[in-house]
Structure 1
Amino acid sequence: MGDNRAPVTVIGLGLMGQALAAAFLKAGHPTTVWNRSADKAAKLVSEGAVLAATPAEAVAASDLLVVCVSTYDVMDNVLDGLDEALKGKVLVNLTSGSSDQARSAADRFGKLGVKYLDGVIMITPPGIGAETSVLFYAGDEEVFTAHEPTLKLLGGGTTYLGADYGMPALYDVSLLGLMWGTFNAFLHGVAVVGTADVSAKTYLPWAHMWLDAIKMFTTDYANQIDAGDGEFPANDATLETHLEALKHLVHESEALGVDVELPKYSQNLMEKIISQGHAKNSYAAMIKAFQKPSA
């Protein structure tokens, strides 16, 4: 069958695990699956997957194992007692967790002679297999390179982040934080204009326009932060200018009966950094509110 269609085992068949297995099947890889609830494998089996009766059978079926379960503890429980069977296998863990858990798992599996990659999926199940879908991986670069063509079946944006097994988890939580912060700001904005009977759909294109402008600002801020000189030149607006505008948002929200916790939080942070002597700096100086004191 050739290396480009090597057997793959997928352990864990939640919505994401099912999507992963389906992508391998679609590309012609012999695919073995296992899940505690075997009924979740029914559709995959009808499409050609082989259902393993036990985790041991699943591990034995392929040299490339992809695990996507709810937690690292669940992964450990599923693979408990299979140390010898795992030796020499490639284990790609796509279970969500912390950077500490990823590093700990890498250390544990490494001692067993397992070739381990830790990764995260930055897309929902329907996006698996799309060219724009991003998956991050870390670990031994040779292992990643050897299996990159197969892993790219899960997303064209498959990206190697280096040898530090914890990096995918760090990218995962930081990007999710960006997402939630953006969602909350968008919804707060919808609530503000909604008091004047402006619909969310009417507001939406202007929100999109402003997000594009924000990308331009953050490009400048990233350069200022990476320069590491603490200068933070105000190429667009000073922090004190931002603060005065933010006070208007707080005032409007209070006057309109819209929750003010989100803008108040930003105001408090901004006033803290300004009090440290950054009134004339750009918004990039706000990084000091989030960095470790030694940074």
Structure 2
Amino acid sequence: MENFPHTYYVYGISLHSGIPLSLPVRGYGGLAEIELRIAPASFFSDALAGVSLEQASGSWYQIGRLADGSSYMRWEHVGEFLISGDGRRMSCRQFDRATCESFEVYMLGQALSYALVGQAFEPIHATVVVVNGEAVVFLGDSGFGKSTLAASFISAGYQLLTDDLLILRETHGRLFAYPGPPRIKLFPRTARRFLGTAADGIPMNRDTQKLILPLDRRRSCSLPVSVKAIFALASPREVFRRQPVRLKPLSPREAFLELVKNTFNYRITDGARLQRQFTEASSVSFRQREKRFSLS
């Protein structure tokens, strides 16, 4: 393997990087290894020769699939990435107008999810806090309030484990959640309410007011934590103002559907991936009782 100047630990993997990142240099990385390289614009233009790019409705990034199984993605004003089919190598280029923080959010989220799926992981769209040494998982689509709910826990003295992307793994009969980057994404008003300040936040991109806020060791956890509970957040359409908090147990079938619905990467749909997704969601839903969580 090439000698990289930096090694970081995130989502239970060892990330060998050619560029410095805002990630822990100590931690657990035994699940897999990924190599991250910077590449010039010519590298990407050559790789994309003859490749058609598509943009899904409701998203603002472009994606292309290469003949060798690699995946390309590009966010305007942020950067572009090429992920090998086996998920072991990532090439990246940060655009001039992008901040390092914004570039990392997209690289360590959507882009990295292709590498994770390529290495047979199933990333879940979830935010996780640590309560009394155990992980509490919140499933939900963007806008459902996962990060806001996590911020309320942080303000009460608990730690964040991951915000947006979750990797689960069973070890010795216990389900473990693995830590993501030590940061949370919040709107300024929410940041001021729960974290006391929004001054340290960096805008995610030019089209949103949402901020990227780094968290220190007191507010974030960098080790795998066993899962205590999983909550599927109700859609905002199902919730009314002044409605009390409600918890409803989910059947294994309902829990399975929530896990599948909250996959982090819905673009890779080959048969092997879908079968693995079905198997893992079934396993988690039958061993871990989930509840639907409603709050106004």
Same structural fold, with TM-score higher than 0.5 when normalized by the shorter chain: no
The structure with more helix, counted as a fraction of residues: 1
TM-score by length of 1: 0.19
Larger RCO, structures 1/2 (Cα 8 Å, 6+ apart): 2
Higher Rg of the two aligned structures: 1
